[in-house]
Amino acid sequence: MSRIRKTIKLLGYDVFCGDLNALNLSNFSNKRKAVVNTINPHSYVVAKTDVNFEHSLKSSDFLIPDGSGIVLAARVLLNKKIDKVTGPDLHEYLLNDLNKTKGSCFYMGSSDATLGLIRDKVKKNYSSITVGVYSPPYKEKLSDLDNKEIIKQINFFSPDVLFIGMTAPKQEKWLEENKDKLNFGIASCVGAAFDWYAEVNKPPSRISKKLHLAWLERFFKEPIRMAPRIKSMLYFLYVIAMKKIKILVR
């Protein structure tokens, strides 16, 4: 079965610009694996000096434009209008699809407390979904024993959708390294969606999202955590400007 994809070549990456219906679970029955990752200005900049992370992003079956900067780059460099699709957007879409098909999902990452909140909320809002969770050890690098236990937990559950939340680039690299050992239909690294869905952290407001200023709102809430991302955004805008100048002078 062929996978329905619509992409544009942007900054060396095949960025998904189609309808999320292409991720309909019926397209990935019998655990035909699809890896869904996101790209934003910060991940683009980090990947320039992290070969394994770059490979993880480029190996994705679907690379979602999660960032106003990516939308801007498509418009400036390719004259293409694409829609921003955040990790939480993707998370919500997949949950709705799972609920229709009475499927299963598994959350790997975050703390036991946050995972408990997620599980309770999914059960309340999506009664047809079977939910599994596992909190891995908080370590910079997981041991072989840690990985074996994580894989064991996931495969015992064998989810239709596997959500991974260990922060980038750790989560993307972990999935790329272990995907061949895992049983899943779709696997997605959705990062902040864990805390936002559990309401541990408050997501950006609708108006800031609409105005493409969610990054600024997050900076005011978490200045230390967001500072590297702001730095990446500025460098990303510089890269876009230089590439646009090269296009104009050809």
Q: What is the DSSP string of 62-105?
A: EEEE-SHHHHHHHHHHH--------HHHHHHHHHHHHHHHT-EE
Residue stretches of the chain with pLDDT short of 50: 1-3
The pLDDT value recorded for residue 33 is 85
3 state DSSP class of 109: strand
Strands 130-134, 161-165: pairing is unpaired
The pLDDT value recorded for residue 1 is 36
The pLDDT value recorded for residue 30 is 54
The pLDDT value recorded for residue 115 is 97
Residue 21: HSE in the Cβ half-sphere, 13 Å Cα cutoff: 1
**How many Å is the Cα radius of gyration of the chain?**
18
Other beta carbons within 10 Å of 24:
16
From the list 192, 204, 185, 220, the residue with the least C-alpha distance to 105 is 185
- Cα separation, 26 vs 97, whole angstroms: 9
The pLDDT value recorded for residue 11 is 96
Cα separation values, 93 from 20, 101, 122, 128, 246, Å:
8, 13, 13, 15, 38
243: left (phi over 0), alpha (psi -120 to 50) or beta: alpha
Cβ neighbours for 58, distance < 8 A, ≥ 6 positions apart? 12, 13, 14
Q: Is the pTM of this model over 0.85?
A: yes
